Amino acid sequence: MCEDCGVLLPESGWEPVNAGESDTEVFRRGAVYAKCCGPAGVGELLAERDRVEWLSGTSIPGAAVLDWIEGDEGAALLTSTVPGVAAIDLPWSDKLVDSFALTLRAFHELPLESCPFERRLDDVVGQAEDVVRRGAVNPDFLTDEWRLVQPEELLARLHAELPSVREKADLVVCHGDACLPNFLFDPDTLDCTGAIDVGRLGIADRYADLALVRAQLQDEWSIDADRFFATYGLTPDPQRLAFYHLLDPLTWG
């Protein structure tokens, strides 16, 4: 039973999983994961279910939707376990960086016309505006420098850059939360075994993903992203890296 949402999971033996930063509760039983939410989160979890289902029909490995349970108490999404180890739990190596870069490049090369999901820049900025307006910015997601600045000023910085960033948009199918915990790899071959937590998947500027990757490589592995970008095949645009790096933490409140 999910304690907060009250959705009864099938049978018993579910163990709580404490990883992750979303408001959902996650449980595991054998080779099955269950992500649960209360009534207020049903729409968001349903959108994630649709994205998991869509991604499973592409060349990118990931989870399969096994069941969907919905009621007055909330909902539960049951998916298959993705084999492998999250990149964040593996020791850094050039080979792993290369594998990660090639995986994300393959993600971004999925046919745009086949993807029914969008993350329009103006919508994402609107989401950030709402978080700031509600005073819900999570300081844990901000850099030390940004914590010294009022969220309204951070938002103003985004607004100042928005026209230029919008004009240069290079649309691809983005993961939407391209962090090291969300890509799994075979610990021996370092081949990617799957992408998870795709609730923000959609058509967007590729820099929405690339900015998160660069920040993760610096924060988690203390390396620069030069090798990643070389393997990915791109000379990065500093403006868009900075813009999307700041935008993302303002959207999670």
Go through the domains of the chain in sequence order and give each one's CATH number. Answer: 15-80 (3.30.200.20), 85-251 (3.90.1200.10)
What pLDDT, on a 0 to 100 scale, did the predictor assign at position 7?
Answer: 63
What pLDDT, on a 0 to 100 scale, did the predictor assign at position 11?
Answer: 78
Which residue in this structure is represented by tokens 């240069």?
Answer: 168
Average confidence (pLDDT) over 148-158:
98
Active site residue 4: no
What pLDDT, on a 0 to 100 scale, did the predictor assign at position 9?
Answer: 85
| Tokens of residue 186, six digits | 């075979």
What pLDDT, on a 0 to 100 scale, did the predictor assign at position 24?
Answer: 85
User: Residues 88-122: pLDDT tens digits?
Assistant: 999 999 999 999 999 999 999 999 999 999 999 99
Is residue 247 very low, low, confident or very high in pLDDT (cuts 50, 70, 90)?
very high
What pLDDT, on a 0 to 100 scale, did the predictor assign at position 10?
Answer: 78
Q: Which residues have C-beta within 8 Å of that of residue 115, sequence separation ≥ 6?
A: 54, 173, 202, 203
What pLDDT, on a 0 to 100 scale, did the predictor assign at position 221?
Answer: 95
| Tokens of residue 65, six digits | 């939707």
The residue from 67, 89, 177, 224 that is catalytic is 177
What pLDDT, on a 0 to 100 scale, did the predictor assign at position 92?
Answer: 95
Query: Is the model's pLDDT at 170 over the cut of 80?
Result: yes
